[in-house]
Structures are given as structure tokens and as C-alpha cells.
Chain A
């Protein structure tokens, strides 16, 4: 068993660690509980020996059952293809825990989130400014994810305190929340000395809609549609993670045909977004022809999505227990034919970009995110791979991708060019995967099984096009959702962007931003 092995390894680092309870509810999840005094050291130990950033850190309000808040910290163990979940009980009369973020930077945003949503204080955390509940509109002292929260209590409003860079000749450039383009809202504050950016502070949360609270109290078979609206351009990855968690709780195995179809749709989502970003990168250096070319390819893929599934953004396909749409012979021919043309067009696009020296000059060495920085910040997914970190859930977890011999691509330089090249390689690999998956489709096999509503908790995970999309779901005996924690890759990667732009000039910010192309709504929830 891989689970207990981890305990042994941790005990080597922390000899007197007391594990209060341990369980392996699923083959890919190992959970154990420690005392509050051991929590920080355990997490730090896991962070170092796996090694893994904090993939999720979240609280649950279980005061009605046990009088405690529970905090769970999730790490990924690629070597054993499993998730390690450490939990700790926080008594309700002193809701606080020792901060992890002084030792593990990737925990800091999660801790701020726990503080604003639950009022559980990460002690000694130097930065407890609120992320999503903006001080200008939400008084302090109301914690919306607590179970007894009804409406916000009246109180004083205040202003957000931006970190200031002082010095002669340093000035600030505030941008947003309403931007010049057709894009989500976010506030960027640049501190500039001369031309280079010396600090970028992101203030997000403008599209906060209280998604996690909306999941609560609903039947988990009814609410797949909400997960599709968390981040519109990753609708499929989000709904896939959600239904995977639900299927684990229901203890059902979906038909083989359904997992192949999910693979195809997930890759279709990846390629339309990748080609969109490649075009966007070209547009942001003022190279409009490839942008136009890429947007034609994107439109063709969106129309293909509609012809295959009835929806351009691959919505209403995933249900708990399988999928609703099949790809029959006629659709398979359509898919493969379209893919052939898409690949030809894509090759043209790549040629156009590669043949322009001035374009290459702009993207090369722009917006470098160094590997060490990326590791410290806990950057995941595409941005991490571009900086040379081998991380891809498709590669390390068993399933159809292993059978299709998925090849993970990484780049080393971490600049815009690396992220561009990575997208190009991933696009090609995804096309190959779709063809591979399509060849193993069978005729009229069952597409879904009826789920039984059960009690439990499970983690659903998918490598979306930006990176991992994680859903931790907990249900009551009747199948009502007690807690649904969502983490989109954007949540950790936004920090990566604020480091990648340092030393670049403001006009290159859109370019750096597009090369990450992070979700506002997926971050803000």
C-alpha cells in the first residue's frame, strides 16, 4: 500500500508524529488526521518529501456535528499516483491555526481565503487582506461559508491596502477593473521606475459570485450545470472534475465508452483554447494576420464542438454516471475529417509565426518565470511545464491517457516563447490523442449508469488546458452537498504572472498576461 508508506517516510522526518486516524477511501486518495500542534510540520514534511505544492487548503464547517472546524490540506504524490489529504480539527472556541505560509508560500492565498470565508485565523500570517469579499462593499465579521451565515452583518467598510513601493522616481499605474479589451475584470497595480516594472500587485475577486456556497444543500446529481459556469472556457474540465468526485462518492464505474468520450471532449476544449491563445499572443505584439488565422481555427473547432455535442462550449455533456452525447460513426467521420483540416491550418499558423523574426524577437526572453520561482509559488499546469516543472495529471494518473501513451511536453526557459511552444506541442499531442481515442470508440455501447446517492467525500481532478482543476466534494446521506471546494489552476498561477512581468515594460504586460491566459472567474469563484 502506498498510503502507509508515506506515513513511514514522514515519521522519519518527524519521529514523534501522532497520526490520529488514517484511511484510504479510494485507491488514489490517502487521508490522515493529525493534532493541531503537528499540522504545520506534517504539511512541511509532505511538501518537501513528495515534493508537492499545496494543491488545496480549505476549511469545512463541521461545528454542528463535532463542534469543530476541519482544515484539509491536499498534496499530490505523482510517484504513487495518489492524493495525500491531511486534516486537522480546529475547535470552534478558538478558531485559529499556525500559518503554513511562512514555510510554504503556495499556502498563503488559501489561508487568506480560509480567513475571509470562515473566520478561522492563520496565526502569524503576515498578509490577511481579503481576496474576494472586497473591503469596499463587504463589512468585516461576516463569514459567508460558515453554515450559520444568513446575510452580511452591517459594519464599517474600508479600503484595500496596496503594498507600496517607495523611492525616488517610482510611480504607480493602476489598471482596471474594467479593461480595454473584451475580458474579465481585475485590477492591476504596477509600480514602475522608468520603464521596467518593479512590482505588480494583482487585486482580483471582482467576479466573485459565491459559487462554493451555491453548491451547498443541492443534490449532487442536479448541480453539474453550476460547475460548467465556474469558468466558461474550461466548462468541460470543471464539470468533469465535479462528476468524477460525485462518481467516486457514488462508487460507480462509468462505461468505457464514456471515459473515451470525455477524453475526446477534454482535448477538444484544450485545442480551441490553445489556438485562441496562440492567436492572442500574436495579437498582443500587433501581429494581426496570425490572430485572424487562429480565430478562424478556433471558430471551426467551436462549430465542430456544436456539431458533435450540440454545444459550442461542451456544456450539458457530463452527468454523474457518464455522458449524454455519443459520437457515432457519422460523427466520428466528421470529427476525424475536421481534425485533418484543423491540423493543416494549424501547421500554416505555426509556419507564419516561426517565419517572422520580429515576432520571435518580441516573445523570446519576455516574461520569464524561473523554475525556482514557479516551484516556490506552487505554479501548476501549463505555466509550470513551460518553466521546466514536469507536472501533468494526465501523465501520472492511470486511465485512458496512460493507454494512449500520452507524451508530456515541458520547456525550460519559462518565457512567453516557451509557453507558446508548449501550446503548439500540446495542440499537436492533443490532436493525436483525439485520433487515438476516436479509434477505440465502439458502437452503441452504454453511455451512462444511474448513480445512487450516497454519503461521503472525494476529490475529483482533471488536467484542464490551464492546469489541474480540482473539486473536493462532501455529501450527506441523502446526496445533498455539504461542501464543495473548487480550485482552478488560475488560483495559483496568477501569482506566477506577477513575478513573470518583473523587469519587463508595461507594454509587454498584455503579452505576458495572454501567454498565461488565466481565468478571472475560475479564480474568483
Chain B
């Protein structure tokens, strides 16, 4: 325990401010995100993630969003374990036939109001896998999609920027 405490003090705060452009608005961007979420969602935005056949890179980046460097939670965005707790469904991957039922059921299990975000090029239109015999194709043909985050995989900064842009508009 003493060792951990020592290490913790030596390491200090590692969380980085996002280098969102322009540079002088670094501080305010995160704060803006937080303020927007506070205004639109009451306190926080809860996201449930579903993998419908992604390669795992999008998941890795979403996990990175929660690491101490980006620490998305401090702006009020949480990833939750159950669709029952979620406001938003985050979908990755081209929809594999095997996952299409699970995807619909997860969406149905969420309480309204709810919305869907797709993440990664596969989720937009099937990406590299769109001609496959086992891929249903775009998520937007199955569920109403409010926002798409492009990239293969989108890195954490793209994710945050996309989120900020989306909340500003809506």
C-alpha cells in the first residue's frame, strides 16, 4: 500500500488535456463537453457498447477512452454494463448475421429516449466486409443511427471531437 501511495504521488496526474483545435481552447473543450452533457442529459450520458462483428480494434480504442490519459468519465460519459442503464447504443463492426438478433434485442432493452451511434468504417456500410455472404450490412438499415464516427479504428481524439461536434449541433 505504501508502495502504491508513493508511486501515485511520484507519478502525479497523468490525464492529458485534449489537443482539440484551436490550442488556446484546450481547457474549454473538455469543459464544454461536460457542460453540454450536463445540459442535455441532466447529469451524465451512459453508453452501452455492442460489437456486431468488429475485429476488436474499435473496442480497444473505446477502452483507451477510459484510460487515465483520456479519462472520458470526467466529462460525464460512462460506459455501462447493461442496456437497461444506457441512453445511447454504440455499435461497432459490420453486422454479422449471428449478431443481428442480439443487436436488435439490445436496442429494444434500452429505455427511451435512446439513440444509436456507429463507430468505425465497418459499422457505416460493412466496410471491407460488405460483400460477404454473412454480413447484413449497414447498421443504419437496422436501427436509426444518429451519429457515425469514422476511422479504422477511430482513435480516442476523433471520438471525442465527433462527440463534441454532435452535441453542439443537436
A156-187 interface mask toward B, CB cutoff 8 Å, 1 = contact, 0 = none?
00000000000000000000011011111100
Residue of B nearest to A209 (CB): B129
Given contacts A178-B50, A210-B129, A210-B135, contact A520 B56 (CB under 8 A): yes
Contacts of A292 in B (CB 8 A): 67-68
Given contacts A184-B59, A214-B128, A348-B7, contact A137 B97 (CB under 8 A): yes
Q: Which of B73-125 contact A (CB under 8 A)?
A: 79, 81-83, 93-94, 96-102, 106, 122
The count of chain B contact residues (Cβ–Cβ below 8 Å) is: 51
* B3 and A352 form a contact (CB under 8 A): yes
Contacts of A521 in B (CB 8 A): 53-56
* B64 and A302 form a contact (CB under 8 A): yes
What is the CA–CA distance of A521 and B51 in the complex, to the nearest angstrom? 10
* B155 and A295 form a contact (CB under 8 A): no
* A178 and B67 form a contact (CB under 8 A): no
Out of B55, B63, B102, which one reaches A177, CB within 8 Å?
A: B102
Contacts of A144 in B (CB 8 A): 133-134
Residue of A nearest to B121 (CB): A229
* A232 and B57 form a contact (CB under 8 A): yes
* B97 and A138 form a contact (CB under 8 A): yes
B134-145 interface mask toward A, CB cutoff 8 Å, 1 = contact, 0 = none?
110000000000
Contacts of A232 in B (CB 8 A): 54-60, 153
A20 to chain B, nearest CB (A): 34
* A313 and B131 form a contact (CB under 8 A): no
Asked if A430 is at the interface of the complex by the 8 Å CB criterion, the answer is: no
Q: Which of A271-301 contact B (CB under 8 A)?
A: 289, 292-293, 295-296, 298-299
What is the CA–CA distance of A132 and B57 in the complex, to the nearest angstrom? 21
A307 to chain B, nearest CB (A): 13
* B60 and A233 form a contact (CB under 8 A): yes
Residue of B nearest to A232 (CB): B57
What is the CA–CA distance of A499 and B165 in the complex, to the nearest angstrom? 48
Asked if A151 is at the interface of the complex by the 8 Å CB criterion, the answer is: yes
Q: Which of A61-86 contact B (CB under 8 A)?
A: none
What is the CA–CA distance of A352 and B8 in the complex, to the nearest angstrom? 11
* B81 and A180 form a contact (CB under 8 A): yes
Asked if B167 is at the interface of the complex by the 8 Å CB criterion, the answer is: no
Contacts of A206 in B (CB 8 A): 53, 96, 98-99, 102
* B56 and A177 form a contact (CB under 8 A): no
Residue of A nearest to B122 (CB): A229
Name A's interface SS: loop
* A207 and B64 form a contact (CB under 8 A): no
Asked if A147 is at the interface of the complex by the 8 Å CB criterion, the answer is: no
The count of chain A contact residues (Cβ–Cβ below 8 Å) is: 55
* B97 and A184 form a contact (CB under 8 A): no
Given contacts A144-B134, A348-B7, contact A208 B60 (CB under 8 A): no
Contacts of A231 in B (CB 8 A): 55-56
Contacts of B153 in A (CB 8 A): 232, 313
What is the CA–CA distance of A486 and B53 in the complex, to the nearest angstrom? 17
Given contacts A184-B54, A232-B58, contact A178 B101 (CB under 8 A): no
A471-508 interface mask toward B, CB cutoff 8 Å, 1 = contact, 0 = none?
00000000000000000000000000000000000000
Contacts of B52 in A (CB 8 A): 185, 207
Q: Which of A242-293 contact B (CB under 8 A)?
A: 289, 292-293
> Could you say which of A178, A233, A302 has the most chain B C-beta atoms within 10 Å of its C-beta?
A178
* B55 and A295 form a contact (CB under 8 A): no
Residue of B nearest to A137 (CB): B97
* B102 and A184 form a contact (CB under 8 A): no
What is the CA–CA distance of A133 and B42 in the complex, to the nearest angstrom? 43
* B155 and A312 form a contact (CB under 8 A): yes
Asked if A101 is at the interface of the complex by the 8 Å CB criterion, the answer is: no
What is the CA–CA distance of A178 and B89 in the complex, to the nearest angstrom? 12
Residue of A nearest to B65 (CB): A182
Contacts of A184 in B (CB 8 A): 51, 54, 56, 59
A203-232 interface mask toward B, CB cutoff 8 Å, 1 = contact, 0 = none?
001111111011000000000011001111
* B128 and A225 form a contact (CB under 8 A): yes
* B53 and A214 form a contact (CB under 8 A): no
Asked if B4 is at the interface of the complex by the 8 Å CB criterion, the answer is: yes
A217 to chain B, nearest CB (A): 10
Contacts of A213 in B (CB 8 A): 132-133
Q: Which of B134-168 contact A (CB under 8 A)?
A: 134-135, 152-153, 155
What is the CA–CA distance of A211 and B32 in the complex, to the nearest angstrom? 42
Residue of B nearest to A138 (CB): B97
Asked if A134 is at the interface of the complex by the 8 Å CB criterion, the answer is: yes
Given contacts A205-B98, A299-B69, contact A183 B134 (CB under 8 A): no
What is the CA–CA distance of A178 and B101 in the complex, to the nearest angstrom? 11
Asked if B23 is at the interface of the complex by the 8 Å CB criterion, the answer is: no
Residue of B nearest to A177 (CB): B102
Residue of A nearest to B56 (CB): A232
What is the CA–CA distance of A315 and B14 in the complex, to the nearest angstrom? 27
Interface CB pairs A-B, < 8 A, 19 = A134-B97, A144-B134, A151-B133, A181-B81, A183-B51, A207-B54, A209-B94, A229-B55, A230-B55, A231-B56, A232-B153, A289-B8, A293-B7, A296-B68, A352-B3, A355-B3, A519-B56, A521-B54, A521-B56
With contacts A209-B132, A229-B55 known, what are 20 further pairs, Cβ within 8 A?
A132-B98, A136-B101, A138-B97, A178-B50, A178-B102, A182-B79, A183-B59, A207-B99, A208-B53, A208-B134, A211-B132, A213-B132, A229-B127, A229-B152, A231-B56, A232-B58, A296-B67, A298-B64, A302-B64, A524-B53
Which 4 A/B pairs are nearest by Cβ-Cβ distance? A232-B57, A232-B55, A180-B81, A232-B56
Interface residues of B (CB under 8 A from A): 3-4, 7-8, 11, 14, 49-64, 67-69, 79, 81-83, 93-94, 96-102, 106, 122, 127-129, 131-135, 152-153, 155
